Amino acid sequence: MALNHFGGGPSDIVTDAEGNVVGGVQLRVYTAQDGGSRVTELYDFDGTPLSGVVVSDSSPGNIGRWSFQASDNYDQLFMDDGVSDRWVVPARETYTATRQALGLAGEAKTVAEAAKDTAEHALDEVNERLDTYGDLDIFSVAPQFATQLRIPSDLVLQSFDRDSRTGDYYVAQPRVITGSSTESTIIYRCSPAGAVMETMTFIGGGHGSAIAVERDGNDVYIWTWWVKNEGGGPTEGLCRVRWSAGQSIHMSDPLVQAMTRLDGENQTFAAIDEEADRIAIRSSAAGMEHYYLRRLSQFKLGYGEVLASLPGMSIGEYGPYQGHTSLDDYLYVARGGTGGFPPVIFRYEWATGAVDALDVSSAAVGFSGAAPGNYAELESMSVWRSGNGRPSLYFGLATGSYTFRQSMAFVFRTPDTDTPVTPALRSLNSSIQSGSVGIPGGNGTVTTKHVTFKWEFDGTPIVVLTPISSNPDIVESVTVANVTAQGFDAYMFRTSSAATPVSWFAYYGPGMNEHTPA
């Protein structure tokens, strides 16, 4: 049995009515001021059992002093000398624990105050950086071409966002895959130059109309509205998915965190501005859209406070919803570009609901003076900040005819970490294609092979063919015909039956007026 210590301090002595110390006084021990139980299992400080009472010391130098040990079930006990009222005696261990607790509390208070100061200082720094750049006015700066996202061209870009640390693009595209009864969302991780590096598939994930990227330490999370859990379990909802390259997952996978859902919500999409600790939520119910601005840190723990909201707008009004984001005092909503509606960015003031609109059709215009395929569908809105907090506002355009879609990223205010892309560089980026094709030999007859471009050109390009052979004498001729913006026919005359690889190069852009395509 563990014991607590009582008495033994400088003030723990017995005195008479005149204040004289008195030895040999028997003290009974109780558990309460009045009544209570008497405690008789008592011990000296050296562990020797006492006879049920505590006796004040009579030895010279210690006269009147008393001390004892009792079970550690007692934090305090009451002493009774049979004459005066009982007095309370706390255990020494209680004092020690209290002092330790006070010490720890003091330390915790110091740490908390330091953390508060640090947090307030960090917030001040963020606000100072944000204020440095002021509002980004999309009506006073022209959008600049950022990159071509080199995702498959047989389906349409739906949305993208950038990793706050690396600048990589995460791009969404829908596809019906084998074994799935609805659209699945394919997410491509692309380099800042637009090259595809990795993919991840959300089976039953839906159209991918709007995704958001969140960086949490070394992990990247994709926020998306998941349509159907084809793996079983609950269906539909806003999800936060930890990026795992190469994985094909269902909604019930451990990588997927289902976020809290409000009754009646549908097609809930998120847009994130990490440094500002903001998340803008778009949801729809009863044919109306609703937009809410919250703190990202709070939303991940639950919904949190609503910092701002905008009243419902009719779904499909001014064209189909194509994405949204929030920056500073404004909500930006991308609409149109299909169904007879022009591609327009609507800017709403969070505080007042005041709205204005910017048609971005001209951003898709190429060297020919028109968008490839005369098609420009607005896709996605997102905010990205450089390392110093300077914000840029992105949107996407899908151009080109069906199965020849190009996925273009544009930006209001080029990030200071990126090299601005001039119109000439943009033309080079989107107006050169190359490859190779194997043309079968004909044993002295002409053979042909059709080549389909991955992306549609703005107009009819120049095409150059080069046969690859270690026996050039047996390849009599290689020619090209039927050139269009979408492909060409390659012809070859060869005396043998062996197939010949032919490299090709196609260009449409500046300098075309110096040539006349055949």
Q: What is the pLDDT of residues 435-466, one digit of tens each?
A: 999 998 888 889 999 999 888 887 889 999 99
Least confident range from 158-172, 247-261, 384-398, 470-484: namely 470-484
Backbone angles phi, psi at 111, to 5 degrees: -65, -45
- Greater confidence (476 vs 165) lies with 165
At 505 the pLDDT is: 93
At 517 the pLDDT is: 47
Asked if residue 98 has pLDDT above 80, the reply is no
At 265 the pLDDT is: 65
- Greater confidence (42 vs 263) lies with 42
Asked if residue 424 has pLDDT above 70, the reply is no
Asked if residue 327 has pLDDT above 90, the reply is yes
- Greater confidence (321 vs 457) lies with 321
At 229 the pLDDT is: 84
Q: How far apart are the first and last CA of the chain?
A: 104
305 Cβ neighbours under 8 A, 6+ residues apart: 294, 295, 298
Would you say 185 and 196 are in contact if contact means Cβ atoms under 8 Å apart?
A: no
**Position 114, amino acid:** A
Handedness of CA 99, 8, 50, 28 (dihedral sign): negative
At 512 the pLDDT is: 65
Residue 65 DSSP symbol: B
* Residue 108: band (very low, low, confident or very high) from pLDDT cuts 50, 70, 90: low
Asked if residue 67 has pLDDT above 90, the reply is yes
At 175 the pLDDT is: 92
At 379 the pLDDT is: 94
At 426 the pLDDT is: 53
Asked if residue 121 has pLDDT above 70, the reply is no
Backbone angles phi, psi at 261, to 5 degrees: -120, 135
Mean pLDDT over 416-425 rounds to 59
At 101 the pLDDT is: 56
Structure tokens at 276: 């500002």
Residue closest to 28 by CA, chosen among 112, 101, 71, 89: 89
pLDDT above 70 as % of the chain: 85
At 30 the pLDDT is: 94
* Residue 55: band (very low, low, confident or very high) from pLDDT cuts 50, 70, 90: very high
* Residue 186: band (very low, low, confident or very high) from pLDDT cuts 50, 70, 90: very high
At 126 the pLDDT is: 46
Asked if residue 287 has pLDDT above 90, the reply is no
At 100 the pLDDT is: 61
At 243 the pLDDT is: 97
- The three-state secondary structure class of 276 is coil
Mean pLDDT over 42-60 rounds to 91
* Residue 511: band (very low, low, confident or very high) from pLDDT cuts 50, 70, 90: low
* Residue 129: band (very low, low, confident or very high) from pLDDT cuts 50, 70, 90: very low
- Greater confidence (425 vs 195) lies with 195
Render pLDDT for 166-175 as a digit per residue (tens, 0 to 9).
999 999 999 9
Would you say 301 and 279 are in contact if contact means Cβ atoms under 8 Å apart?
A: no
At 475 the pLDDT is: 62
At 122 the pLDDT is: 46
Asked if residue 252 has pLDDT above 70, the reply is yes
Asked if residue 502 has pLDDT above 60, the reply is yes
Residue 498 DSSP symbol: -
Give the chain's mean pLDDT: 85
At 443 the pLDDT is: 82
Widest Cα–Cα separation across the chain: 137
